[in-house]
Structure 1
Amino acid sequence: MERTMGEWFEKHTIGNLVQDAANRFNSREALVFNDERWTFKEFQEDVSRAAKALISVGIKPGEKITLWMPNCPEWLHIFFAAAQIGAILVPINTRLRTSDLQYVLQQSDSTTLITKDRSGPVNYLNMITEIYPEILQNNPRERLSESFPELKRIIILGLEQTQGTLDYQDMISQSASISDQELLKRLDSVSPDDTALLMYTSGTTGFPKGVMHNHNILRVTTDSINRMGMTPNDIVLMYLPLFHAFGLYEGALMFIQAGSKMILTEIFDPEQALRLIEHEKITMLHGFDTHFYDLTNHPNCSTTNRSSLRTGLFASGMASSVPVAEQAQRLLCPTITGWGMTECGVGVGMSFLDSPFEDRCAGSGYPLPGYEFKVINPETGLSVPPNNQGELCVRGYAIMEGYYKKPQETAEAVDQNGWLHTGDVATLREDGYLRFFGRYKDMLKVGGENVDPIEVEAFLINHPSIKQVQIVGVPDPRLSETPCACVILEEGHQLNQIDIDSFCRGKLASFKIPNNVLILQDFPMTSSGKIQKFVLREIAQEHISSLNY
């Protein structure tokens, strides 16, 4: 599909946002982190220094910069600085370890890695030297490894350094060698149609793919700002990881575009979040059901002054999310529901501020301007009638440019007419309202019968002993696979297979009743709060195998 956004929306680049915000909001507070505060002008100056520093170490337009660090002001500086000089940022999950880091650096062709020395118990520097032992013999300005021929420099933020790396603050001090005119020349050479981001999918279905987006993603955040009524008077609490599209777009991009103040934390801690809501008079907060569950169930929630909260984006819609969404409305604020994914520019479906209660709890919103939704039968490719489940397809101006160096996977995901086939199970009402139900790949095939795990989860969550439940398939020699209930219990409760059978018998079809129950303390999660069902499936399979051994 031909993109015509430029004909009706003035294009901008991400790098220009910072100077624009400094011109408009100058001395207003922009950012708070660990009790340190920056105005928009001060933030702009820090970003300019970072951009000049990146130029000074030799980073060229189009080069990839892998950024591997938790939330901090420097993360934001590098993000906007990379955009200003025409580089491509590759933000990666801080939970990645050596093999994952090796894959991303190789697959992305990154020339630069910027990371911290350590964060809490995690020692990033040790992991780097494990991957690149030869770094200890290298000059920091020379190629580091024959195994990673594109990687030219590793830059470390923190007190610990090692041979072969550059110190982040030393790099920043080199910014004085680059003139304002040289930086402006680089900034002016960047086109809105240039690739700005290479974001690796968070891994709910296995090995990640690099999703390419250009600067036109700003149209999505502009429309999100408008739909949420976001203004310079808003104060946004951002505990979501910036390396994830949710945190990056709803946090880093939207606060600078709207002129709002962002209160940034390194991690999500519900006690800290509640304290900041009261102390900083937070007006907006975002998250998945995990975040809202922890906030509303924390013992400090009832004693925290939450009156400043206005709204926030709750990625809800699944049956298991509805009780949490309803509780968030009662105890926090009237949230907006949304749907999105990395491939289409995160939240491209959103409800409205005045949407009915049910739509804000049990739906996923209407498409943003310039986007189209349709729901198809994945076997025939034909649209299904309203309110019938099928695969959600999305088309719009900020659909990914493609998966980096994966043309076959790109062609499988985006058809010739520009429709992104999401792999999500959804329905569309007659008025175009979206409801997300889960992933097609999670669907079970039990003796030839399709079993929707979400349906079984929604039923089992009503059991008094069950706090959380996920249904996964485990291999069965006769039925191909059977359902396994992975359960987190309510405190002080017990549960076994007989309890599940008696609870389900006569109320669910026999092939939908879990044949096995696995009691867990918690579920494997991505750092952005999504349950990793493929990991949960592996855990369940190992458990069943051990029982049959």
Structure 2
Amino acid sequence: MNDNWLLMGDIPDRAARLWKDRPALVFQGARWTHGEFADDVQRVAKGLIALGVEHGDHVAVWMTNRPEWLQLMYAIPRVGACIVPLNTRYRTDDVAYTVVQSESKFLIALDRSGPIDYGEMLEAALPQLDEGGHLRQIVMMGEQLQNSISWETMLHQGTQVSDEQLHSRSAQVSVEDRMMLAYTSGTTGHPKGVIHCHKPVRNTYERAMLLGHNRNDVHLSYLPLFHAYGFSEVAMMVALTGGSQVLFDVFEPDQVLDAVEEEGGTVLHGFDSHWADLIREQQQRERDVTSLRVGTLPAGMESTVPIARQVQDIFCPTTSGFGMSETWAFIASSHVTNTLEQRTEASGYPMYGIEFEVRDLDQGHVLGENEQGALYVRGYTVTSGYWGKPEATAEVLDDDGWLDTGDVALLRPDGHVVFIGRHKDMLKVGGENVSPAEVEGYLLEVEGVEEIAVVGYPDDRLVEVPVAFVVSSTDLSAEALIERCRGKIASFKIPRHIIFIDEMPSTPSGKIRKIELREWALQKI
């Protein structure tokens, strides 16, 4: 069953065998080689067995980026269990819902990060967790809760587990076993648990070879590990290729760029929002970033193009890509040898074993090249469904394995896919379809516009009209921005209102929470 498949839990031992004494991890001044990191993963795996974690159990993890998170992402699947990463922006009801809905039997959490008291929130969530009836044990790092056990106690108990016991447990793991429940970012409604087995490991490894990642690379690891992007494209990528990562508990652009200079960083990652922050920081205080070799920047939407173009000049070449929780992180990818236009204005070429179709939004028939429609994906990385939600699964996944991504896209003659936006983000203004990304990209060219997001606002005559939220670095006026559009883009695309804000509300993965902006628009207009 496991022939030719690399299992998630086997990755650290493979790295230790190939690159034992090479650097693997830097975190707040502490350093690990690949051999030392693999030893830590083994200790954690034994601790999980001692804790009572069985094959098939779900283990929730709620903590900011730290070495223990990296150890758990391998140790949990190594013992045949399934990791349930929890969003660090969850609060009491969020975490209670997700732990209960995922039927997690174990929860491993950090007590606090800066001003955020996770322990206090867990204490408040305990009645809901108890009522859910699945959770058996909480392991806390730092201050303890009533009836929790400490991380150190778990590791100590694990010393009673022999190498043979761990090997026996690991030998039972199949590539088809549940490896992860990846809960969606939750920009709308309750998050859903996306089921993934071990097969997507191959997709990440193949992309590592495609992009030339190797043991000489130093990745800057600031994307949240609970998100597929940080989990797959940074943390896994490092262990699969023998490189090293400088791990940050939170994203602070100044610290990231300082580390590039100090550690000789070679690879940066992130959405356009991350890169925009890095650009601003570099412009305020220039660092030596000549060690940078390549970056990843999912592009395609018109709103991402200006930032993507700037990155090439200020930092390094970037490759684009497309992915989502339901499909895995990057099921399409460009290559560093692709043209600048392909890398900054498209979303990559389908990876091996992945098929794309673009279908008519209304009739459902397959469209030709350069025709916008609903994007469907099929392949070995696609989820088998949403945990405990058969109706929601049936809505997006058909009997032939095609997943309705909920995205609008087109396939170009050169084979690259272009991500245009979400179905639900498309505005219907007086019968005309309006892509918010198109308007955003146009206004991002205005000097002083740092970030922009366009959402719909109810209108009696036109059903809805565009409204733009803008983060500005200069004294721009709303009228000046609207005037910039007049005579240049169709009148129905021009924002009826401009609302200036200090900061965009966003998910931890960097995606702007447009549902929140729609609510703000209703309050402010």
Normalised TM-score (structure 2): 0.97
The reply on whether 1:156 has 2:140 as its aligned counterpart is yes
1:524 equivalent in structure 2: 505
Partner Cα separation in structure 1 for residue 7 and residue 507 of structure 2: 30
Partner Cα separation in structure 2 for residue 479 and residue 165 of structure 1: 56
Check whether the contact 2:301–2:438 (CA below 8 A) recurs between aligned residues. no
- 1:435-457, Cα deviation, whole Å (9 max, x unpaired): 11111110112232222212222
The 3-state SS of whatever aligns with 1:15 is helix
Check whether the contact 1:203–1:532 (CA below 8 A) recurs between aligned residues. no
The reply on whether 1:378 has 2:361 as its aligned counterpart is yes
2:29 equivalent in structure 1: 35
Q: Shift of the alpha carbon at 1:26? A: 1.1
Q: Select the residue among 120, 124, 128 that pairs with 2:122.
A: 128
Q: Shift of the alpha carbon at 1:434? A: 1.1
2:476 equivalent in structure 1: 494
- 1:92-115, Cα deviation, whole Å (9 max, x unpaired): 110100110111011100111110
The 3-state SS of whatever aligns with 2:12 is helix
1:298 equivalent in structure 2: 281
1:50 equivalent in structure 2: 44
Q: Select the residue among 446, 450, 454 that pairs with 2:429.
A: 446
Matched ranges for 1:383-402 at <5 A = 383-402=366-385
Check whether the contact 2:304–2:441 (CA below 8 A) recurs between aligned residues. no
Q: Shift of the alpha carbon at 1:301? A: 6.9
Partner Cα separation in structure 2 for residue 74 and residue 371 of structure 1: 33
Partner Cα separation in structure 2 for residue 487 and residue 255 of structure 1: 36
My pick for the range that moved more, 430-439 or 102-111, is: 430-439
Q: Shift of the alpha carbon at 1:299? A: 4.4
Partner Cα separation in structure 1 for residue 226 and residue 468 of structure 2: 31
Check whether the contact 2:371–2:410 (CA below 8 A) recurs between aligned residues. yes
Question: Alignment RMSD, CA only?
Answer: 1.7
The reply on whether 1:59 has 2:53 as its aligned counterpart is yes
The 3-state SS of whatever aligns with 2:317 is coil
Q: Select the residue among 516, 520, 524 that pairs with 1:539.
A: 520
Q: Select the residue among 244, 247, 265 that pairs with 1:261.
A: 244
Partner Cα separation in structure 2 for residue 388 and residue 133 of structure 1: 52
- 1:388-420, Cα deviation, whole Å (9 max, x unpaired): 211111111110111111111111111222111
The reply on whether 1:289 has 2:283 as its aligned counterpart is no
Q: Select the residue among 403, 407, 414 that pairs with 1:424.
A: 407
Partner Cα separation in structure 2 for residue 302 and residue 515 of structure 1: 37
2:235 equivalent in structure 1: 252
Residues 508 and 109 (structure 1), Cα distance of their counterparts in 2 relative to 1, 3 Å cut = same
Partner Cα separation in structure 1 for residue 60 and residue 193 of structure 2: 12
The reply on whether 1:101 has 2:101 as its aligned counterpart is no
Q: How many residues end up aligned between the 2 structures? A: 525
Check whether the contact 1:66–1:114 (CA below 8 A) recurs between aligned residues. yes
1:503 equivalent in structure 2: 484
Partner Cα separation in structure 1 for residue 138 and residue 261 of structure 2: 40
1:513 equivalent in structure 2: 494
The 3-state SS of whatever aligns with 2:187 is coil
My pick for the range that moved more, 33-42 or 408-417, is: 408-417
My pick for the range that moved more, 112-121 or 453-462, is: 453-462
Q: Select the residue among 419, 424, 443 that pairs with 1:460.
A: 443
Structure 2's unaligned 5+ residue stretches are none
1:319 equivalent in structure 2: 302
What amino acid does structure 2 have at the position aligned with 1:127?
A: M
Check whether the contact 1:465–1:495 (CA below 8 A) recurs between aligned residues. no
2:199 equivalent in structure 1: 216
Partner Cα separation in structure 1 for residue 451 and residue 15 of structure 2: 43
Q: Shift of the alpha carbon at 1:28? A: 1.2
1:141 equivalent in structure 2: none
The 3-state SS of whatever aligns with 1:312 is strand
What amino acid does structure 2 have at the position aligned with 1:542?
A: Q
Q: Select the residue among 332, 345, 348 that pairs with 1:362.
A: 345
The 3-state SS of whatever aligns with 1:195 is coil
The 3-state SS of whatever aligns with 2:158 is helix
Partner Cα separation in structure 1 for residue 452 and residue 390 of structure 2: 37
Check whether the contact 1:64–1:110 (CA below 8 A) recurs between aligned residues. yes
Partner Cα separation in structure 2 for residue 69 and residue 194 of structure 1: 24
Partner Cα separation in structure 2 for residue 435 and residue 218 of structure 1: 25
Normalised TM-score (structure 1): 0.93
Q: Shift of the alpha carbon at 1:273? A: 0.7
Could you tell me the percent identity over the aligned residues? 43
The 3-state SS of whatever aligns with 1:215 is coil
Partner Cα separation in structure 2 for residue 107 and residue 311 of structure 1: 39
The 3-state SS of whatever aligns with 2:294 is coil
The reply on whether 1:68 has 2:96 as its aligned counterpart is no
